[in-house]
Amino acid sequence: MADENDDLPLDVADDRIIAGRAADGDPEAFRVLVRRYAPLMLGYARRILGATDEVDDVVQEAFITAWQRLPELEEPAAVRSWLMRITSHKAISRVRARRPRLDVAEVEPASPETATPQRIVESRSQLEELSAALNELPDAQRQCWVLREVAGYSYDEIAEELGVPPSTVRGLLARARKFLVVRMEAWR
Amino acid sequence: MTRDDDSSRSGARSLGITPDDLDGHTIEELSAYLDAGRTPVDPSIEESAGCQLALQSMERLRGLSEELLKADEAAESAVANDDRWISRILDSIAIDARAGRRIPIGHEDPAADLGITEGAVRGIVRSAESDVHGVIVGRCRLTGDLTVPGEPITVVVDASVLWGENLPEAASRLRAAVLERLSAHTDLNIAAVDVTIHDIHRLPGAEDES
């Protein structure tokens, strides 16, 4: 039979097809998954870890774990959020390895209440301001906020990842939000 | 809870996050209330203008988080074309880890121990896509008692079809191609090939004709 399909690139197929195929052991399908989600996972891991050269390692490890565990993935169509979860876990493990005890009483950043309108930089978008504000947060607060707002984790899930009680998560999250809300409002 | 007087002349006062502004509530309470989906409804929060402002601000931040992730992703987009980076992952994965179960194949000589792995069967099933225009094969499941030679096996295949192709026809051609390939390469007793088309894909740059 004629080979009619030579030119059809695998990457036109959706996640369900690609992840299902990678789960079945097709490395080319897995390569498509890596290309499709590496940018997202790098961006996300960088938010959790902050500026560090560990980000590449974390995401590469996450992909290798994903390859091993793909056959367990019930819903291949949900591979994106599944990869995000693996990335969260790998990133937080790094955080915990480099600082075994979460210092919840980290020094607060300069009080945002004193932010003055002069600090407004017109040329920066709201998004850039949020990005900059997040980078000013203490690590634990930033990690809580990212896990909650970006990845949609529950308090219990965040507590489990970070190894702290849910009440601590609640406090960290509230402080992060307070800081961000005030900073963002000051720019409006 | 004490009023932060210094803040009254600066940002926080007008932003409404001091306890007075929040009618006795705290940011921590509001933050947890927001995460609970604002249920059960707390009238003292819902009826406080100050609390409403603070909740709106927190919701706005939440709305930005999705955009933030998109921007972070875009900032890393170069990696998708970094073959060295991608190969570092592909080189570290164990390709043979997916062999799966070994399916025995009957033979006249009882001493002969022949078999084929599930992984190899799936590989054959996937290769059938090249016989059918516009079809990409996804997950493939083998059901039936795979441990007994000659037992009927059903192949369940997910597939995606190019937009514009006739779906029932594509499914039936894929089914025929899978059967043909399996009978050419294995002695398995294939009872059925079930094809499910889950997706319609478009080629990059294809016009939206719908």
Q: Chain A: residue nearest B129 by CA? A: A5
| Residues A92 and A114 occupy one common structural domain | no
User: Is pLDDT at B1 greater than 50 in this prediction?
Assistant: no
CB-closest option in A12, A26, A39 to B79 = A39
Instruction: Give yes or no for a cis peptide into B110 (omega within 30° of 0).
Output: no
Give residue A165's domain range: 103-188
What CATH number did the domain enclosing A188 receive?
A: 1.10.10.10
In which residue ranges of chain B is CATH 3.30.70.1350 found?
Answer: 99-201
Residues 6+ apart with CB under 8 A from A74: none
> A171 contacts in B (CB within 8 Å)?
28
| Span B99-201 CATH architecture | 2-Layer Sandwich (3.30)
Q: Where is the domain boundary, A100, A119, A151? A: A100
| Residues A122 and A149 occupy one common structural domain | yes
More confident residue, A107 or A159: A159
- In chain A, % helix, strand, coil (3-state, to 5) comes to 70, 0, 30
Q: What CA dihedral angle connects B29, B32, B38 and B41, to 10 degrees?
A: -40
Instruction: Find where tokens 């937080």 sit.
Output: A92
User: Is pLDDT at A113 greater than 60 in this prediction?
Assistant: no
> Is A2 a member of any domain?
no
> B133 contacts in A (CB within 8 Å)?
4-5
- Write out pLDDT tens, residues A1-13: 444 445 578 999 9
- Write out pLDDT tens, residues A28-56: 999 999 999 999 999 999 999 988 889 99
Number of domains in chain A: 2
> A178 contacts in B (CB within 8 Å)?
17, 27, 31
Question: How many angstroms separate the CA atoms of B210 and B208, rounded?
Answer: 6
Q: Does A152 touch chain B (CB under 8 A)?
A: no
| Residues A96 and A11 occupy one common structural domain | yes
Structure tokens at A31: 């390569």
Q: Does B184 touch chain A (CB under 8 A)?
A: no
| Residues A177 and A107 occupy one common structural domain | yes
> A155 contacts in B (CB within 8 Å)?
35
| Residues A11 and A86 occupy one common structural domain | yes
